[in-house]
Each structure stands twice: as structure tokens, then as C-alpha cells.
Amino acid sequence: MANKTLEQILNVSSATGPFGKGDAVLEQTLRDFIQLQSTTIAVGTQIVGVRTVSWLSFTWYTGAEGSFTYPLDDNAVVDPTKIGTKNYSVKLEKGQGRCVFLDSTLLRGETWENMNRQQMAIIQGRADLIDNHILSKLMLGAGQSLAATAVWGAGGADEEKDILDGMDLIFANARVTGNEPLALVLPASARSQMMNTRLYTNILQSLQERLNTMISLEVFYTRYYDTGKALGKDALLLIKGAQTA
């Protein structure tokens, strides 16, 4: 087994019994890998998180408000609090990506090479679709907005102030403690502004390094910006997680 290639290991000959053919084993392996890898490299899934569910549609309820009495006499008992809830309806939708390997591919002995290249194309395509969907929903649901001092990289722009002002809006309006780490999603074209080194209090740092030490900021870059795409001309600052995102 140690001297066999991955293709030889996966290309199992079917025996009598409830087992699939060798190609079926390989197909299922590729499907599992495509689903796992595309979810891993997507930006959106790193921000809001994903989980596997066994329902096509469901409603998720979360507590939104309640009351707590303090201080209280030793023998006093308060009435039960009324917990206000909010609910979010979720409906799963089908997506599909397909590729076909011709018999000539098998005859040339190029099966694994071709499968590897084609599956990577599907992985990237699925990850792009996930990102565009999640980022579009986050932009539509953003509760606060803030105009930048100027277009980043242009004269008069203060990228650090823009991010810190955005942070203040989040902590002033969201149901958070004010100590959570932040996530920033930027157009890929803004990467140079975040990585360009400057002198901060006699220390040469990039803006991304400086903000990470100051406010624990994690930066993500996406190609889904500009007209007609998820981010448009904007950036997205948030606290990661299903509730705050």
C-alpha cells in the first residue's frame, strides 16, 4: 500500500456485495474534497461560521432582551422575567457544479491530473459564489454606515481614523461588551494601503500590524468589489459570529 499512488488507492475494484465501482469511490472522494476545500478558502465562512443541518428549512430563535433586578433583599423574590426573542428563517437552496471526464482521458492515463485541475476550478468557483452570497447579505443587513475621510490611497485619506470611527459605531450600537476582536473585509485593491509600512512611535509597521496590536483586528480581502458586486465601493467592519454579523 505504501508504494501505491493515490489514484491506485482510490481506484478500487468492486467485489460482490453492496460496494460501488472504483470510479464511484473516486467521485465521492472528489465531491467531499470539493465541498470541504471551497468552504475552507471562502472568506464569508470565516466571518459568520457555517454548520451542517439536517433540515431544508428551519427557524432559529434567539433571546434579545430581558430584565434583572439588583440589589435585592435577602428574602425577596422577583417575578419571572419576560424574555424577548427574535427569529430568523433559514431555507437551504441547491447549488451544483459538474465536470465530465471522457473515456479518452482514462485511456491516456491522465485521470488524476485532469481531475485535480478541474476540481480546483470548481472549488474556486464554489468559494466565490459563497463569498458573494454571504458578503451581499452582510452588506444589506449592516445597521450602521460611515463615510470615509476620502477614497483610500487618495490625498487626505485617513484609513486608520476611518477604521477606528467604524469600531466606535459598532460598540455604541451593537449588543456587545466592547472588548471583542474585530474583522475587516476589504476590496483586494486596498491591500497595498494596509500593508504599506509607516513609522508609528518610532516603530516601522504596516497599518494592518498596528491595528491588530491596538484593537485585535483581523483583515480579509475579497475580489467581490466594484459595481454590481457584493462590496461595491465599500468595506465591511464587524465582529465575527452568527449574531453580530
- Mean pLDDT along residues 48-73: 83
Nearest residue to 111 (alpha-carbon basis) of 216, 23, 35: 23
- Are the C-beta atoms of 117 and 212 separated by less than 8 Å? no
Q: Mean pLDDT across the stretch 20-44? A: 78
Asked if the model's pLDDT at residue 19 lies above 60, the reply is no
Q: What is the DSSP letter of 80?
A: P
89 vs 20: CA distance, rounded Å: 38
* Domain-wise residue ranges, the chain: 6-53+93-134, 57-91, 142-238
- Average pLDDT value over all residues in the chain: 81
User: Per-residue pLDDT tens for 81-115?
Assistant: 888 787 888 888 887 777 776 777 767 776 666 76
Residue 65 makes CB contacts below 8 A (sequence gap 6+) with: 83, 84
Q: Which of 6-15, 68-77, 158-167, 176-185 has the lowest mean pLDDT?
A: 6-15
Mean pLDDT of 63-88: 84
Q: Is 42 helix (H, G, I), strand (E, B) or coil?
A: coil
Buried b (16+ CB within 10 A) or exposed e, 25-60: bbeeebeeebeebbbebbbbbbbbeeeeeeeeeeee
142-238: in CATH 3.30.2320: yes
pTM of the entire predicted model:
0.73
φ, ψ of residue 186 in degrees (nearest 5): -120, 150
